[in-house]
Chains A and B, each alone.
Chain A
Amino acid sequence: MENTIRLENIVKHFPGVCANDHISLTIKKGEVHALLGENGAGKTTLMNVLYGLLCPDFGQIFLNGEAVEIRSPKEAIEHGIGMVHQHFMLIPVFTVTENVVLGEDMPREPLLDIQQAEQRVKEISHTYGLDVDPKSKVWHLSVGAQQRVEIIKALYRNAKILILDEPTAVLTPSEVDILFKVLRKLVEEGLTVIFISHKLQEVMEICDRVTVLRNGRVVDTVETSETNQSELARMMVGREVFLQFDKEKMTAGEKVLEVKGVSALSDRGVAALQNISLDVHCGEIVGIAGVDGNGQCELVDAIMGLRKIDRGSILIKGKKIKENNTREIIQRGVSCIPFDRHAEGLVKSFSLSEVLMLKEWNNLPFTRHYLFDFNAIRSFSEGMVREYDIRAPGIEVKTGNLSGGNQQKVVLARELSRKPDLIIAGQPTRGLDVGATEYVRQRLLAERARGAGILLISTELEEILSISDRLLVIYEGQIMGEMFTANADLHDIGLMMAGVKRQPDGQIKEMPV
């Protein structure tokens, strides 16, 4: 096998970090090569360099043995490199075909011959099994279909090397299967695939070789046939990881949250929640599994009093909540770790100590006679920084300048220090590395042991399985099934997440003894 790509000593600095530190790596023609690494390891940066989006500080790229300089995506495309970005680069109001041909010359340039382009899109989608309607507007499409459009975009430009940046992060298990089929087909047709991921099992399944990155450096490149998941995990994290948690046995106490037949609309005015019912008891973690965008955000909004409920009711500690009364809901002992920590979890331009007191700012000890007590605020903040191991230059630093993991610790510190009875945790480990993820999960388990009820909403099935006691699957705003984690069947959950299967009412399996 010849080498298609050789990267030599690629260095890329950002202010304060060295994202790529002398990275060298070889990709062979016709292989599926994994780039494995935790968040922040430098995978995306390296690929952006290869795709001409970033200019490396140092280093050389060789394509088919020849040194090349790739200064823009245009040049990368000319060299046969295509990239599917983690955040899709699609224009929602354009049709599939418009997205595909954008930026490419047409035979009768500048006239846009859309029929002919649609024909090409159809051909490509047929050849590679990339099922998508060339005429539909992209915002109508599911995430999986959007990803297929991205792949078609690269193939339309005759890509020979396809980079996929965390392609499975947004997919359901069955969509992942479809993607893998497509990838195998691509390799069959002679393409080379670079597959970025931090999911070990997927890497083992689809890739021929793996290059592991850690802190901007290459740890090693190995054949998947000669390694295993735990070895890869160790290389990725740099130490042994324990993603299995020892859960203390808890007897669930009284109900802290009851959601009874709730229906609500999304911001766009379509039904987002349809007749949802669920309970959370003291001392238990209830997981909500499901693919992003199936009503999870609306459910959290409804519980926090931020969304109008059309039908049904929500009770917290036995008392019905009123909407538009978030303040009171918070005061009743409800904490919330929001989905989007940048938009809702913290104010980026506020300092660490300001963000830490956001929920209790007008209560003692922070405020006395309408004035802030800065000594109390400082000592509280310093205590939190110590207790939650927040790595920050000081309590006056703006939270926007902290790393994702530390931002999440700030949110966690603020929400948990209130000793809440009910915790709504929305994707609490999204975007965190393995170390921080482990920490957050341990914290949630500690809260459970303290007696709090926790509603954990996550798109990472593995997260729900590892810490929750009971789980429900949500699909298009409906509960598809409910089960105890201990006897959960992965295959069933996958089908429910995809909306294929639905558990008959009242079928929750017996608690195992």
Chain B
Amino acid sequence: MGIEVFLGLFTVEFFYATIRMASPIALAALGEVYVEKAGILNLGIEATMLMGAFFGVLGSALSGSAFVGVLTAMAAGMLTGLLFGFLVITMRANQIVTGAALNIAALGMTSFLSRIIFGVRLLPVQVQGIKPLPIPFLKDIPGLGKILFEQTPLVYFTYFMVIVMTYALYRTTWGLKIRSVGEHPRAAETLGISVIRWRYGCVLLGGALGGIAGSILSLAQLSTFVDNMIAGRGFIALAAVIFGRWNPLGAAAAALVFGAADAMQMRVQAFSLNLPSDFLLMLPYLITLIGVIIFRGRAAAPVALTKPYEKEATA
């Protein structure tokens, strides 16, 4: 492909799509940063997002309101988080196995429910989706306005959460407690911090954000549910956490890179360049793989990550 064609890809539309594609990954990754900071690896974000995507559509279909759909998605995400939390925190099950099992279960369950509820049809149901909401004045900023401020409200919610969650993690006593629980839970316990409660809190938060992230993909992008529609973006969110060195801001930045890869893939396909589409579909995942290799090393990872915590164990 010629260099002009390549440069031609970087249009306002491309950057717009980058933000749009990055926001679900960023939101899920933000939640996962908190979960991991508290010492839990939730491999099941994919499941959380899939549940959010499906129940978002269901909520919207039943109520006729996309907003209710998002709330339903959030609730579904939190329930998934709660189940995961119960298994790994209370029952102290292996986090990796539990997360993986949850992914498979959610895939089966959503596909099944989708057939039962919406029936088997040629064209998927269309429900009330979430529409872009340009922000007055801000949208008129040259260049950036169109890219950043003509998005859907859920993208604005993502901006908001990036700021709030970064601030909260490093500038509040809550953030300090969360980090302590993931670094040295026993020390936290000796200071009267309930490890179990904070871990549940983080898993629920991660679930809520994962659910909403899923509904971005279904309600804001397709206005419908398709089997396995998360298609590995949950895992990309996990990679974004590592990429971003367990920092909410970093994870959001990493999500942007993955969003760009996604957007690129769509643009190139639209240009119908002479590239096999399978190769392009691979692009975001390939970038993830390369990113994880470059940003490897565990220095920044919470020390107690994946280690179950037992209360009455004296060292």
Complex Cα gap A240–B315 (Å): 31
| B190 adjacent to A54 (CB under 8 Å) | no
| Given A77-B192, A103-B192, A111-B171, A89-B187 contact (CB < 8 Å) | yes
Q: Answer yes or no: A489 CB below 8 A from chain B CBs.
A: no
Most chain B CB neighbours (cut-off 10 Å) among A72, A73, A91, A98: A91
Give A20 Cβ to nearest chain B Cβ, in Å.
13
| A90 adjacent to B192 (CB under 8 Å) | no
Chain A residues, Cβ within 8 Å of B268: none
| A93 adjacent to B172 (CB under 8 Å) | no
| B176 adjacent to A98 (CB under 8 Å) | yes
| B314 adjacent to A53 (CB under 8 Å) | yes
A110's partner among B172, B184, B187 (CB-CB below 8 A) is: B172
Q: Answer yes or no: B9 CB below 8 A from chain A CBs.
A: no
| Given A45-B314, A53-B314, A111-B172, A72-B192 contact (CB < 8 Å) | yes
| B189 adjacent to A90 (CB under 8 Å) | no
B192's partner among A45, A48, A74, A112 (CB-CB below 8 A) is: A74
Chain B residues, Cβ within 8 Å of A153: 191
Q: Answer yes or no: B183 CB below 8 A from chain A CBs.
A: yes
| B173 adjacent to A105 (CB under 8 Å) | yes
Complex Cα gap A93–B184 (Å): 10
| B187 adjacent to A90 (CB under 8 Å) | yes
Tell me the chain B residues, 135-193 only, with Cβ under 8 Å from chain A: 170-177, 179-180, 183-184, 186-193
Complex Cα gap A102–B193 (Å): 9
Q: Which residue of B lies closest to A55 (CB)?
A: B312
Chain B residues, Cβ within 8 Å of A48: 314
Q: Which residue of B lies closest to A109 (CB)?
A: B173
| B172 adjacent to A102 (CB under 8 Å) | no
Tell me the chain A residues, 459-496 only, with Cβ under 8 Å from chain B: none
Give B287 Cβ to nearest chain A Cβ, in Å.
29
B180's partner among A83, A102, A110, A111 (CB-CB below 8 A) is: A102
Number of interchain pairs (Cβ within 8 Å): 76
Complex Cα gap A77–B173 (Å): 18
Complex Cα gap A72–B196 (Å): 14
B171's partner among A54, A89, A105, A112 (CB-CB below 8 A) is: A112
A83's partner among B190, B193, B303 (CB-CB below 8 A) is: B190
Q: Answer yes or no: A62 CB below 8 A from chain B CBs.
A: no
B314's partner among A54, A73, A111 (CB-CB below 8 A) is: A54
Chain B residues, Cβ within 8 Å of A54: 312, 314
B-contact bits for A75-105, CB 8 A (1 contact / 0 none): 0010000010101011111100010011111
Complex Cα gap A202–B66 (Å): 72
| B314 adjacent to A103 (CB under 8 Å) | no
| B191 adjacent to A73 (CB under 8 Å) | yes
B-contact bits for A385-397, CB 8 A (1 contact / 0 none): 0000000000000
Q: Answer yes or no: A44 CB below 8 A from chain B CBs.
A: yes
Complex Cα gap A102–B315 (Å): 21
Chain B residues, Cβ within 8 Å of A111: 171-173
Complex Cα gap A246–B218 (Å): 82
| A89 adjacent to B173 (CB under 8 Å) | no
Q: Answer yes or no: A17 CB below 8 A from chain B CBs.
A: no
Give B271 Cβ to nearest chain A Cβ, in Å.
47
| B183 adjacent to A92 (CB under 8 Å) | yes
| A90 adjacent to B184 (CB under 8 Å) | yes
B177's partner among A72, A92, A103 (CB-CB below 8 A) is: A103
Q: Answer yes or no: A271 CB below 8 A from chain B CBs.
A: no
| Given A73-B189, A110-B172, A102-B183 contact (CB < 8 Å) | no
Instruction: Knowing that A87-B315, A110-B173 touch, tell me 19 more A-B residue pairs with CB under 8 angstroms.
Output: A45-B314, A54-B314, A55-B312, A72-B192, A73-B191, A74-B191, A77-B191, A83-B190, A89-B186, A91-B180, A94-B183, A101-B176, A103-B188, A103-B191, A105-B173, A110-B172, A110-B174, A111-B171, A112-B173
- Which positions in A face B, CB cutoff 8 Å? 44-45, 48, 51, 53-55, 72-74, 77, 83, 85, 87, 89-94, 98, 101-106, 109-112, 153
